[in-house]
Amino acid sequence: MQAATQAAGIGPRIAVLIPCYNEEGAIAKVVTDFRHALPEAAIYVYDNNSRDRTAAVAGHAGAVVRAESLQGKGNVVRRMFADIDADVYVLVDGDDTYDPFASPGMVSLLLRNRLDMVTGVRVGLAVTAYRRGHRFGNRMLTWMVKTVFGRGVSDMLSGYRAFSRRFVKSFPGLASGFEIETEFTVHALEMRMAIGEVRTAYSHRPAGTASKLRTYSDGIRILRMIVQLAKQERPLQFFGLSGGLMLALGIGLGTPVILDFVQTGLVPRLPTAVLATGCVLIAFLSFTAGLILQSVAHGRKEIKRLGYLAIRPYELGDEPGDPARSIPQDTASPGLAVERFADAGRLPNLRRAD
């Protein structure tokens, strides 16, 4: 039946994208598990200047191996999105910390509910898998995005996601490193895309492998990305806030000077008066810049939206489902089967991405 399905071209083309850097000890299991979880998917491993045998091991495990010389996860993801043509994209890290058998539920939820992005919300089963500092940083940054952009996701920094073709081909991909996950979230929120979440197990890395995430430097880069995206996507609020602060400072400095002038007709603190005037002028310049850039941002958003709409979405047909596409419950991680497949239903017939 699977061969007939592929020959007939029925079902969505699914591509599993795995960016890798020095993951020799984990990549074989990741590729093998995804071949079992999504047997009809094409699995791509992009090696990012690894100094070990990551590429050779991934190729031996059955993945299509390619290389990206620009260092950084964001650069790799941008190259993947540009190179690979599919209807559904599953992005996952190559460190074997995410559960591959959650992917059928993510893909099914994406297709059945016509979503553009499904995020795998991490549920840490081990203390060493999701350190307290990383958990706190994730919650803080997620809260910041929700505050600035109005709504958000439960796990903004998750590296496990499923995307529609519309999302991938309309995503600019300007980030170079781990801040790419922040750009995913903000792009979906600003474009008002339909998004969903699936709870998935998150375990510790295999022995002999090391995390590439640098807590403080990467955290600062993610914070900087949030500020940059706020400036680009919400310029009126961004410059309005800075203008409001400068206006408050100018009023605070200038009020005593004005009172002295009213009472005595003199300006005894001329430097303070000049500083207060400068603050008020900067405030009005900031408000003006915000208004102008808000119009520019609105025009950019319209163009991006039209580009998004120009991409034909995958239409889930009425082809009969194949029970072989569903993952048996006994292969799922304990306690997560309900979260994975709730509202997801069975997977439709799948075929390999070109």
Mean pLDDT in residue range 10-25: 92
Given a cut of 60, is residue 328 above it in pLDDT?
A: no
Mean pLDDT in residue range 313-321: 62
Task: State residue 146's pLDDT score.
Answer: 83
CB 50 within 8 A of CB 44: no
Q: Which residue has the higher pLDDT, 41 or 175?
A: 41
Task: State residue 351's pLDDT score.
Answer: 52
From residue 150, how far is each of 56, 139, 147, 229, 293 by CA, in Å? 45, 16, 6, 14, 19
Residue 16's Cβ-count burial label (10 Å; 0-12, 13-18, 19+) is buried
Task: State residue 214's pLDDT score.
Answer: 65
Closest Cα partner for 17 from 109, 98, 128? 98
Q: Which residues contact 40 (CB under 8 A, 6 or more apart)?
A: 2, 5, 6, 11, 14, 325, 349, 350, 351, 352
**Whole-number percent of the chain with pLDDT over 90:** 56
Cα three-residue angle 175-178-184, rounded to 5 degrees: 60
Task: State residue 61's pLDDT score.
Answer: 94
From residue 301, how far is each of 102, 173, 260 by CA, in Å? 33, 15, 49
Distance CA 236, CA 289 (A): 8
Mean pLDDT in residue range 214-223: 75
Residue 304 C-alpha from the chain's centroid: 17
Q: What is the pLDDT of residues 81-138, one digit of tens each?
A: 999 999 999 999 999 999 999 999 999 999 999 999 999 998 865 545 555 556 677 7
Distance CA 78, CA 235 (A): 25
CB 341 within 8 A of CB 118: no
CB 167 within 8 A of CB 243: no
Q: Which 8-state DSSP code applies to residue 310?
A: T
Closest Cα partner for 27 from 169, 233, 209, 267? 209
φ, ψ (nearest 5 deg) of residue 195 = -130, 160
φ, ψ (nearest 5 deg) of residue 266 = -120, 160
* β-bridge mates for residue 66, sequence order: 46
Q: What's the length of the chain?
A: 354
From residue 245, how far is each of 120, 235, 352 by CA, in Å? 39, 15, 55
Given a cut of 70, is residue 2 above it in pLDDT?
A: no
Mean pLDDT in residue range 228-247: 92
Task: State residue 155's pLDDT score.
Answer: 87
The region of weakest confidence among 80-84, 211-215, 261-265, 300-304 is 211-215
